[in-house]
Amino acid sequence: MSVGMITQAKGSSYVEVGNTKVCCGVYGPKDVQRGQDFKMSGQVLCSVKMAPFSAPVRLPPQPDTRQQEMSRQLKDALESIIVLEKFPKSQIDVYVTVIEDDGSLLGACVTAAGLALCHANIDVYDLVVGASVLFQGDVLYLDPTREEEEAAGSNQLTVGMIPKHAGGQMALMVQGGGQAAPQCLSECLNAAVDLCNRLHTLAQKTLLDHLEENLPSSSSSP
């Protein structure tokens, strides 16, 4: 994890999960464009775009259904963790670019967006992080790879979590695959929560290290 990669953005981040690489830029808050619905609370615009070279098969430049769905899921998660009441009649733009997709993509996008929002000094209830857990039979995979995700009979659970707010809150939960027993889902959720707690510690350290590196050095008076 790192922040401050995009100099033109108010806040930015870069996250790697295995071979999955994601970059995020945050712009705003800015005035809502004319003609849009008036709202006293802030609005969030999210866009997840995969680079044409991010997958084994070259992707078309136009966003497909998967990218549109991930953009919607990320928007829902961020709207629940940003203090939107502090940004009346304003819009916050969050752009995520997928450089390489090798699995656990949605969780990486959530973590990257959370870091970029904090780097942009956007008021949030807590730093949000995302994690994916895949279960196949009796085996659990944390942050599965693309090959593991594409295996037959696999089910995947992705969560976005704010661990330090109100005792731990879920901002996002997406389950994909076939039917799963409640006991199996419970085990996966516990594993995902534990992983989110560890990621949250790492993300906090990333922000603190960046802050310490960029604090102006105090000079002693003569």
97-138: pLDDT as tens digits: 999 999 999 999 999 999 999 999 999 999 999 999 998 878
Q: What is the pLDDT of residue 38?
A: 66
pLDDT exceeds cutoff 50 at 214: yes
Between CA 113 and CA 203 the distance in angstroms is 11
Residue 218 maps to a domain: no
Residue 215 maps to a domain: no
Residue 162 maps to a domain: yes
Residue for token pair 């942009």: 120
- CATH number (domain holding residue 186): 3.30.230.70
What band does 209 get if pLDDT is binned at 50, 70 and 90? very high
Number of structural domains the chain divides into: 1
pTM across the whole model: 0.92
Q: How many CB atoms lie within 10 A of CB 106?
A: 25
Distance linking the first and last C-alpha atoms of the chain: 40
For residue 161, the enclosing domain spans 2-33+40-210
Closest CA relative to residue 46, chosen from 128, 134, 132, 147: 128
pLDDT exceeds cutoff 60 at 221: no
